[in-house]
Chains A and B, each alone.
Chain A
Amino acid sequence: MITARYHREVPQRFRLEANKCVSCGHINFPPRLVCPKCKGQKFDNVVLKDEGKLLTYTILRVAADRFSKETPIAVGIVELEDGVKITTQIADVDVDTLQIGQKVKLVLRKIQEDGKAGILCYGYKAVVI
């Protein structure tokens, strides 16, 4: 059962909620209590930009059981417009056409199913725009 952890992560998975250090401006995603840059403890709540560019990627051709029917799976590091870098799956793509530097946008997709009868877990993935 993945219900409790999944539910706790909804603000990040669904809405990209982060926090920004008041003293140095560093953005934490997910939010932190202590700034890793300056040890500051005051933050403003911010929402990440949903567009950015692909910094790098890899193609998974052998995946864990749960994702084995979805291969090949493209996973990349995306730099969002506010400078935050996130790791995310790249959806709706012919993996042979992916290119570093491509503009991408984050969309809500189904990430996994908790077996045949469990909950459906949603979260962000990137699509090339």
Chain B
Amino acid sequence: MVGIVGYGAYLPRYRIKAEVIAKQWGSDPVAIVRGLQLNEKTVPGMDEDTITISVEAAKNAVRRAQINPQEIGAVYIGSESHPYAVKPSGTILIDALGIGPDVHVASYEFACKAGSEAMFVAYSLVKAGEMKYAMGIGADTSQGAPGDALEYSASAGGAAFIMGKEKVVAEILFTHSYTSDTPDFWRREGEYYPRHGGRFTGEPAYFRHIIGAGIALLEKSKISPKDFKYAVFHMPNGKFPMEVGKRLGFTKEQIETGWLVPYMGNTYSGSSPTGLAAILDVAKPGDLIFMVSFGSGAGSDGFIFRVTDEITKVQDRAVKTRELLDNNKIYLNYGEYAKFRRKIKLNE
């Protein structure tokens, strides 16, 4: 059966605390930390972007899969912060990993669900017998406008998944996507920061699409929520994934392992994929994993995974997601953060 043969995550080392951002704008830190359950978030270094994050995550995935990179037939990077408006991100990645030039490469974009999109297409190509291995990556270095609510969450990180048919560590049993035209969050061409519909981003966008994909997956699979060991949803803040999980019938215990957002922030296209990577780091053979992403605009991609006996062989071959989250942190003050994120206007 087709599934994940290798996976890897990457998170930058820099952090900023939510209370530091709140103090800068005279907001109440308690409301942010308790209300949105956001304590701190990752910040990319000045020399990091979606490409460098994808490369590090992809290297970790290859380390786990222990395959010849030349056998990877497709590489898809999903992001809403591709460094170039015109020029693919994946070409730099394949040259860095020694993949190709006989390889299909594309950049995907669908707000926060571009990563799960890349995973879905990579999986489908292997399932169709088009190639031996295909890699799907979700990574972002997203920006929130200064003082906007998004500034507390928009962070940086990503995860990569190599799909294949042999030595599969997590089989993909079912998939389902749910999409509609919903203008909850967008960024027009040439604009620097995204705009959003405030409270409109909740019920008609996030909850409707995740629940739509989630219910369809449960019906298709005839598996009940209680039979899953883990569940992971897109994590725009700490509160939403717990709430949507509850509405679908999942418990806090099932969600907690992949719930990285209180200390990672929202890594956009890398959000549920990094959560999945954290789950795979500790999963045991036979565990069932439920995953539904969400991208504004809007849509959700859902997957049901079953972990195999191979998982225990690969878990220690590369750095674990929680280690990336907990170790080597460097905290920034707001001024340093504004400089890092190029929020300060400079003379050319």
Binding site for B on A (CB under 8 A): 10, 14-15, 69-70, 91-92, 94, 107-111, 116, 120, 122, 125, 127-128
In-complex Cβ contact of A14 among B14, B83, B96, B328 (8 A): B96
Residue from A69, A70, A110, A116 in contact with B48 in the complex, judged by beta carbons closer than 8 Å: A110
User: Could you say which residues of chain B place their CB within 8 Å of the CB of A125?
Assistant: 47
Contacts of A111 on B, CB cut-off 8 Å?
A: 47
* Contact between B346 and A15, CB atoms less than 8 A apart: no
Q: Is the CB of B83 within 8 A of A10?
A: no
Interface residue total, chain B, C-beta cutoff 8 A: 23
Restricting to B316-340, which residues have a CB under 8 Å from any CB of A? Answer: 328, 330, 339
Chain A-chain B contacts (Cβ-Cβ < 8 Å), number:
50
Q: Which of A15, A108, A125 has the most CB of B within 10 A?
A: A108
B55 on interface, CB distance cutoff 8 Å? yes
Residues of the B chain whose Cβ atoms lie less than 8 Å from the Cβ of A108 = 51-52, 55-56, 96
B196 close to chain A: CB less than 8 A: no
A107 to B339, CA, bound (A): 22
A-B contact pairs, 24 of them (CB 8 A): A14-B95, A14-B96, A69-B346, A70-B47, A91-B45, A92-B12, A92-B328, A94-B330, A107-B52, A107-B56, A108-B51, A108-B55, A109-B45, A109-B52, A110-B48, A110-B49, A110-B51, A111-B47, A120-B49, A120-B84, A122-B51, A122-B52, A127-B13, A128-B328
Q: Contact check, A15 vs B46: say whether CB atoms are below 8 A apart.
A: no
Q: Report B's interface with A, CB cutoff 8 A.
A: 12-14, 45-49, 51-52, 55-56, 83-84, 92, 95-96, 98, 328, 330, 339, 346, 348
Partner of B13, one of A15, A69, A92, A120: A92
A15 and B95 contacting across the interface, CB-CB below 8 Å: yes
Q: Which chain A residue shows the least CB distance to B346?
A: A69
Residues of A within 8 Å of B346, CB to CB, are 69
Query: Which residues of A have CB within 8 Å of B14?
Result: 92
Residue of B nearest to A109 (CB): B47
* A122 neighbours in B (Cβ, 8 Å): 51-52, 92, 96
**With A92-B330, A109-B47, A116-B348: A15-B98 Cβ-Cβ less than 8 Å:** yes
8 tightest Cβ-Cβ pairs between the two chains A and B:
A109-B47, A14-B96, A110-B47, A108-B55, A92-B13, A14-B95, A108-B96, A108-B52
- Contact of B51 with A69 in the complex, beta carbons under 8 Å: no
Which residues of the other chain, A, contact B348 by a CB distance below 8 angstroms?
A: 116
Q: Which residues of A contact B83 (CB under 8 A)?
A: 120
Check A70 against B46 for contact (C-beta < 8 Å).
yes
Of A10, A14, A69, A128, which is within 8 A of B339 by CB? A69
Question: What residue of chain A has the Cβ atom nearest to residue B94's Cβ?
Answer: A14
For A127, the chain B residues whose CB sits under 8 A away are 13
Q: Are A110 and B96 in contact (CB under 8 A)?
A: no
| A contact residues around B49 at 8 Å (CB) | 110, 120
CB pair A10–B47 under 8 Å, yes or no, is no
In chain B, what residue has the closest Cβ to A14?
B96
How far is the CB of A10 from the nearest CB of chain B, in Å?
Answer: 6
Nearest Cβ in chain A — how far from B89, in angstroms?
10
* Complex alpha-carbon distance, A8 and B272, angstroms: 37
Task: Kindly provide the distance from the CB of B338 to the nearest chain A CB, expressed in whole angstroms.
Answer: 12
The docked-state distance in angstroms from the alpha carbon of A120 to that of B141 is 16
Residue of A nearest to B51 (CB): A122
Residues of A within 8 A of B95 (CB): 10, 14-15
Residues on B with beta carbons closer than 8 Å to the beta carbon of A70:
46-47
